[in-house]
Amino acid sequence: MILTEYNTTSFSDFSLYCGDSINIMSQFDNQFDMIFADPPYFLSTGNGKVNINGKYIKFDKGEWDKVRSSDEKDKFNLSWLMACKRCLKDDGTIWVSGTYHNIFSVANCMDLLGYHILNLIVWHKPDPPHSLTDKRFDFSAEYIIWASKNKTANHYFNKELMALMNDGKPMQDVWTISAAGQWEKMCGKHPTQKPLQLLYRIIMASTLPGGTILDPFAGSCTTGIAANLTGRTFVGIDQSSDFLNLGIRRRQAIADTNIATDLFAKMAVNPNEPTVLVNHARLDLYNKMIETGICYLRAGDSKGSLLVMPGFERIQYVLLHNGGVNCKLFKLKSKGSFQIWTKEALAKYGFKPTHAPYYVVLQFDNQNQIEIKRTPNLYENKYTYIAKIKSISEFLGYNIHEENKNIRL
């Protein structure tokens, strides 16, 4: 068959194909660093409604999601998983989402095909809808299998970044992430849309910038949006032109740098990730702060000051810079806390503060400078000199502001 892109979008990092995934994947060969697959869960009854406690509830996502027998599920899962294995690079990995309706079949089929299951991630949703029946617990979790191509594959895993996103501790296999919010559905809705925060974590854990990612059940292309926002190339396949058109609208939206930056910031939010106090100081004061291990600034909303804002309780680092350059990163001696000193107390350490009688003081380990793996550009015109709180992954992981060249806008 001749492979033809669907409604070419002119984005070199975002390619779509409409049709049967297995047929289309037969044209690819060992070229993807990662695959994320959100296959049918086989939940829909086909009659459009189910009777639960005497009430008829619409519960039909479409023909693609209709209930099937165990043999039918296994046959389907074997077919597309076999096609995925052919597409995956030898050191690539695959992630497959599901519920109890399909995930056991997926696991069994992976085992038969020689995949090596690395983890079973429990995706816990903190805000699930109530069960439609009073005979069951509320459903608050889905499951995601992470697997390599075989047991000898040397797959990539960014364990260090995952720990940084988890308060410095190795990340576990239970992830608490809310379902897709309204801010992710401004271009339209998909009935099984995954949250960008989930795909962001998966992509950051298992790929490098510049990698190529496939989604054989692309839907509204959440995988593609997360991939492009983090500097990866995306290939998506779906049988529905309506859903692919929704994906195209979402990709067109992030061609606006302001929208892309806003979406990335929301996507990368992590309530467990340590934060960094980023503070400008004139050169002589910058040197004195590093010499003494004391960072100080005024409190309040004024130039050179800091508002106590969300994320302050997770501050574990201080980054000092001088007008956007000479960036140096250090760990605080006390996490998520600060002291209030008088200008007289600061004067004992050789400082000469003159702007206020009291100052916020954070003490850091000045003997152990931390390597910045992604040199930040902190120059922001009039905002350069205002203290900020940023996520540690912006300096030790991925920073959209520094890697805009990876986003083919």
* pLDDT of 15 higher than 90: yes
In this prediction, residue 11 carries a pLDDT of: 92
In this prediction, residue 245 carries a pLDDT of: 95
In this prediction, residue 293 carries a pLDDT of: 97
In this prediction, residue 387 carries a pLDDT of: 85
As a three-state string, the secondary structure of the chain is: CCCCCCCCCCCCCEEEEECCHHHHHCCCCCCEEEEEECCCCCCECCCCEEEECCEEEECCCCHHHECCCHHHHHHHHHHHHHHHHHHEEEEEEEEEEECCCCHHHHHHHHHHHCCEEEEEEEEECCCCCCCCCCCCCCCCEEEEEEEECCCCCCCCCCHHHHHHCCCCCCCCCEEECCCCCHHHCCCCCCCCCCCHHHHHHHHHHHCCCCCEEEECCCCCCHHHHHHHHCCCEEEEEECCHHHHHHHHHHHHHCCCHHHHHHHHHHHCCCCCCCEEEEEECCHHHHHHHHHHCEEEEEECCCCCEECCCCCHHHEEEEEEEECCEEEEEEEECCCCCCEEEEHHHHHCCCCCCCCCCEEEEEEECCCCCECCCCCCCCCCHHHCCCCEEEECHHHHCCCCCCCHHHCCC
In this prediction, residue 138 carries a pLDDT of: 87
In this prediction, residue 51 carries a pLDDT of: 45
* Average pLDDT value for the chain: 86
* pLDDT of 106 higher than 70: yes
Average pLDDT over residues 2-9: 78
* pLDDT of 58 higher than 60: no
Highest mean predicted confidence (pLDDT) among 185-199, 371-385, 392-406: 185-199
In this prediction, residue 62 carries a pLDDT of: 54
Average pLDDT over residues 266-295: 91
* pLDDT of 64 higher than 70: no
CATH for the 14-267 domain, from 3.40.190.10, 3.40.50.150, 1.10.1740.10, 3.40.50.800:
3.40.50.150
Percent of the chain with pLDDT over 70: 86
Confidence of residue 47 (pLDDT cuts 50, 70, 90): low
Confidence of residue 310 (pLDDT cuts 50, 70, 90): low
Higher pLDDT, 54 or 254: 254
Higher pLDDT, 394 or 100: 100
